[in-house]
Amino acid sequence: MFEASGVRCGYEDIDVIKGLDFSVGEEVFAILGANGAGKTTLLSAIAGLLPLSAGRIRFGGETISGLPPWRIAAMGLGFVPQERGVFGDLTVLDNLRVGGLVARQARGDRIDEIMELFPALAGLRNQRAGTLSGGETKMVAAGRALMQDAKLLLMDEPTAGLSPLYVENFFDRIRQIHETKQVAIIITEQNATKALEVADRAMVLSLGEATTITDAKNLTTDQLRKGYQI
């Protein structure tokens, strides 16, 4: 379903990601690593927001590296960025509707599902997204990506800034979304313990290179420490 080969990318002349090869199937795939390891850079490149300096990314049998982000999104790749990622001047409801423009399922049903996932949003339907709290903004961004008929969801630190109650709920739902909707998920997360509970496999990134790619349940503390260089 997804395959990255020889991927290098970064900013200006400096490669942050220094040659990555990995593939993701119908699974939940966690990317772990210290700050500066390149997790956000990698997800931005997959979503088409950052050009590759070398290598190739394939998704659903087609090469997507080099395509504009909207084409990649229309092919079924949803992206939940680490910060912001909502249209501040639109209401919560309109933000969700924007995400649903490429969905096949009736948008109303999908919106009800999002509200069930994030009950805090139900009372904020008509509020401008720019006036929401940080945590609420994250819920809208995640909800909008779920509105899409995504085959693969990229989630960049989706639980940072969410209250404990929602963090628990969110990890439960990630598994549920994956299983009921057959959506593959790539998730970066600082909460390694939680991420490994819901992930099938994990990759540990260190300074732009993969130090380990393994089944989540087999990832050892030593492998994690090596990645985090502690």
The contact set with other proteins (CB under 8 A) reads 11, 16, 34-37, 40-41, 82-84, 120, 124, 127-128, 131-136, 139, 157, 160-169, 190, 192, 228, 230
- Is 55 or 135 the residue whose CB approaches other proteins more closely? 135
Calculate the alpha carbon distances from 76 to 4, 182, 222 in Å.
Answer: 17, 12, 36
Smallest separation (angstroms) from other proteins to the CB of 79: 15
Smallest separation (angstroms) from other proteins to the CB of 11: 6
- Is 36 or 66 the residue whose CB approaches other proteins more closely? 36
Smallest separation (angstroms) from other proteins to the CB of 28: 20
Do 143 and 96 touch, CB atoms closer than 8 A?
Answer: yes
Smallest separation (angstroms) from other proteins to the CB of 102: 27
Residue 125 CB partners (closer than 8 Å, separation 6+): 91, 92, 93
Smallest separation (angstroms) from other proteins to the CB of 23: 25
- Is 5 or 127 the residue whose CB approaches other proteins more closely? 127
CA separation for the pair 152, 129 (Å, rounded) = 25
CA separation for the pair 198, 59 (Å, rounded) = 23
- Is 7 or 139 the residue whose CB approaches other proteins more closely? 139
- Is 64 or 203 the residue whose CB approaches other proteins more closely? 203
